[in-house]
Structure 1
Amino acid sequence: MPAIRPSPVTRFWPAIHLHCVAGIATVTLCYARSNPTPHIVAAPTSLTTQERMYASAFLPTKGDLAASEYAGEAVCASCHAGIASLQHQTPMYHAATPASLLSIHSPLKFQESAFSYSVQQTPSGIIFSANSVSASGSHSDSRAVAWAFGNGEA
């Protein structure tokens, strides 16, 4: 019986396999280098108010005009009636109010774990107080309130 010889494909299989793997690796590497991933640019960590004011073309606090130089709500409403009619219904419209409104609900109190807060009417005006109790002792601070922010939702 004649001896069985391995076919050329079987005999060279390891070399063929190695060349295929090397070829695929080369193509993958070339593709990866030709299509780099975009670099992520981190936003600045912190800007001063002055930097923010001049970094933007429009910023309400930029200060280019005095308040008296703006046209006002009525003039805007003459061209933008639909927007103006809805403005008074938005939470943003009711977001800031003089602190005197808080006297209607005085005293307001809130507590969260070791911290307690209160807003109350005093002879000198509306006062906000914050108190905390910890192993190192108790701490408190009080300040006069000029404006109330929020629309009555907490």
Structure 2
Amino acid sequence: MEHIVSFVSKATGLKSEKRDETETHVSQTTDGKGISVHCTDLKEVIVREDSLGKEFIQVNFLDGRKILFTDTLIGFKPQATPGLDLSHLPRVVTTPDLLSVFEATEEAISTNAPHSEIETLKSVFQAILTGGENIGFDLSEEKNWFVRLTSFRGSA
């Protein structure tokens, strides 16, 4: 846990809050979203570098989940969704990606894009949403945005 707290303390876009002896909450300043990390759930913490030489850490959990802490964001894997080829998505996504996909869906609906395009965007949103929820983000607000948007499409 020390590696995580140390990394986050130097990161420009992340904050940590120690909740107790075994739990630390890490949040992103970009959207306020955060997750709790319990030291009893950790398998390993690996310090790595991206292709530009910037340091990040990979956190592997005992249950097989993985997250990345970069200087500004918490990254995670999108969840496989029926009918969606994950090879067309980045291997690591972030919660701000939900807003981007939401806006793309909104635009697709307003321009009467083909139904297949809208369905693909819905699947991408679902893959990111589920992946984020699986690692501990509370994404109920984002889920509600999408429910409203897709129900509007159905009534149009």
TM-score scaled by structure 2?
0.18
- Greater helix share, 1 or 2? 2
Q: Who wins on radius of gyration, i.e. which is larger?
A: 1
TM-score scaled by structure 1?
0.18
- Looking at both structures, which has the greater relative contact order when contacts are Cα pairs under 8 Å and sequence separation is at least 6? 2
